[in-house]
Amino acid sequence: MAAGAQVFQSEVFRAFATYATIVLLKMMLMSVITAFFRITRKVFANPEDAAVHGKGADAKKYLRTDSDVERVRRCHLNDIENIIPFVGIGLVYALSNPDLFTALLHFRIFAGSRIFHTIAYLTPLPQPSRALGWFVGYGVTVSMAYRVLQSLLYL
Amino acid sequence: MAAGAQVFQSEVFRAFATYATIVLLKMMLMSVITAFFRITRKVFANPEDAAVHGKGADAKKYLRTDSDVERVRRCHLNDIENIIPFVGIGLVYALSNPDLFTALLHFRIFAGSRIFHTIAYLTPLPQPSRALGWFVGYGVTVSMAYRVLQSLLYL
Amino acid sequence: MAAGAQVFQSEVFRAFATYATIVLLKMMLMSVITAFFRITRKVFANPEDAAVHGKGADAKKYLRTDSDVERVRRCHLNDIENIIPFVGIGLVYALSNPDLFTALLHFRIFAGSRIFHTIAYLTPLPQPSRALGWFVGYGVTVSMAYRVLQSLLYL
């Protein structure tokens, strides 16, 4: 117990835990959005899902792809590709005793950029909105990685 | 060394480590199942893989998609979308000094729901079996996220 | 702060942080390679991206798939499927107080095998080069998982 309590005396670690939880919840929200589009538009990938909404030939008709569903899925995959490295690198960054102000700046910009990225992807906003959202988040993670490698490199 | 040893005096953390390892191994098992289906059914995505099982026109024939391979791949992707948030949020949850009984309840239900989800996806069992398996695991992760945000929010 | 500082007195944890950061950065590099291929070859998945490089019918023409872009994406997905379990299981492994020499051996072999896997995938080298790269990395993660479960199982 003691170790856990101790880690949580660190404000940097608490900030990391808060923002990591927020961006992971945002990523999980994509599953719900995908399910919502699949059910309202009757667009399914599995025969057993389509069977719930129709029988025989009717069910087969629903086994298709839809451009909006694919858009949400691409957005979800982009979250996986970017949010997970943030959580992994952010964890060791948070444990490398960074300055609280600098750490908060990293976490806040990342969370903001990913929320903006999702809005830009799903609206969709004209480019380069989405590219910018992606790039800022990417830069934050690279900046944390640089700090980690610089402060504790052990090859 | 001391810090590591200390973290492991926490039974909650040991339980987290055990269940996180189990669900990540389950997720990794999907790679082996995909490879098994690809090789036994000769269904490949890369020309250099098909070339191992046939030459010339024969090899090209194997560059195709197969509904069972795609099913395993969707199941694998669903694991990634759900198990990774569990590991990330579960880690900070385990460090937030939760009650051991409550924590074990979360971890056990999650592991059970994901194993059931995989069985329901690959058999496949009729819906809503798979949807239920997904929903229970999702709920566990959201419940841990709620506890994390409630106990240590630092924005 | 104290807890973070303490964790970093552990050489095993510093080694884990270094290698986890390196393999996550390698994984993130795949996004840049995908973007490079998409832009130089004008192969896009979103209408708003294609619109930047052409107007009207011209833009629609760029909404297509390309075998090289798909190859990079498969390589990226394979990284996600393998590097993330390594980071998750490696973290608890690093905290289970393993022998420094053994831990470094695991981390170095994993990082090497994934870099080799990427080269084998993108060149592409004839099989079984890529399969071997994948298998070695997989084995390292399973070996760490075995050590974690053996040393701290708490079901």
**The predicted structure's pLDDT at residue C43:** 82
Alpha carbons A148 and A142: distance in angstroms, whole number: 10
Identity of residue C26? K
* DSSP tag of A46: S
Q: Choose the weakest-confidence range: B61-70, B124-133, B137-146, C112-121.
A: B61-70
Alpha carbons A24 and A28: distance in angstroms, whole number: 6
What ipTM did this prediction achieve?
0.89
Alpha carbons A141 and B139: distance in angstroms, whole number: 28
Total Cβ atoms within 10 A of residue C27: 24
Residue (of C140, C67, C85) closest to C110 by Cα position: C140
- Among C127, C145, C152, select the one facing B8 at the smallest CB separation: C152
The residue behind tokens 């669903």 is B78
With an 8 Å Cβ cutoff, is A154 touching chain C? yes
* DSSP tag of B63: B
For residues C4 and A97, the answer to whether their CB atoms sit within 8 Å is yes
Q: Which residues of B touch C150 (CB under 8 A)?
A: none
Instruction: Average the pLDDT over B94-116 and give the result.
Output: 94
For residue A114, give how far its alpha carbon lies from the nearest alpha carbon of chain C (Å): 15
**The predicted structure's pLDDT at residue C2:** 47
Within 13 Å of residue C78, how many CA atoms lie on the same side as its CB? 27
* Per-residue burial over B33-42, b = 16 or more CB atoms within 10 Å of its CB, e = otherwise: bbbebbeeeb
Q: Which residues pair with A44 in a beta bridge?
A: A63
Token couple for C22: 């390196």
Query: pLDDT per residue over C48-72, tens digit each?
Result: 877 777 777 777 778 778 888 889 9
Query: pLDDT per residue over B15-54, tens digit each?
Result: 999 999 999 999 999 999 998 888 888 888 888 877 777 7
Q: In Å, how far from its chain's centre is CA C38?
A: 20
The residue behind tokens 């189990």 is B22
Q: Which residues pair with A63 in a beta bridge?
A: A44
**Which H/E stretch holds residue A102?**
helix A100-122
* Per-residue burial over A105-144, b = 16 or more CB atoms within 10 Å of its CB, e = otherwise: ebbeebbebbebbbebbeebeebebbeebbebbbebbebb
**Which residues, numbered 62 to 101 in chain B, qualify as contacts with chain C under a Cβ-Cβ cut-off of 8 Å?**
76, 80, 84, 87, 91
Return all residues near B67 (Cβ < 8 A) that are at least 6 apart: none
Query: pLDDT per residue over B49-97, tens digit each?
Result: 777 777 777 777 787 788 888 899 999 999 999 999 999 999 999 988 8
**The predicted structure's pLDDT at residue A83:** 95
Average per-residue pLDDT for chain A: 88
Alpha carbons A140 and A114: distance in angstroms, whole number: 11
Coil, helix or strand at residue B99 = coil
For residues C43 and C62, the answer to whether their CB atoms sit within 8 Å is yes
Q: What is the CATH architecture of C10-35+66-152? A: Up-down Bundle (1.20)
Q: What residue spans define the domains of chain B?
A: 2-37+66-152
The class that CATH gives domain B2-37+66-152 is mainly alpha
The class that CATH gives domain A9-38+65-150 is mainly alpha
Identity of residue B92? V
Residue of B18, B21, B63 to mutate for C, most C C-beta atoms under 10 A: B21
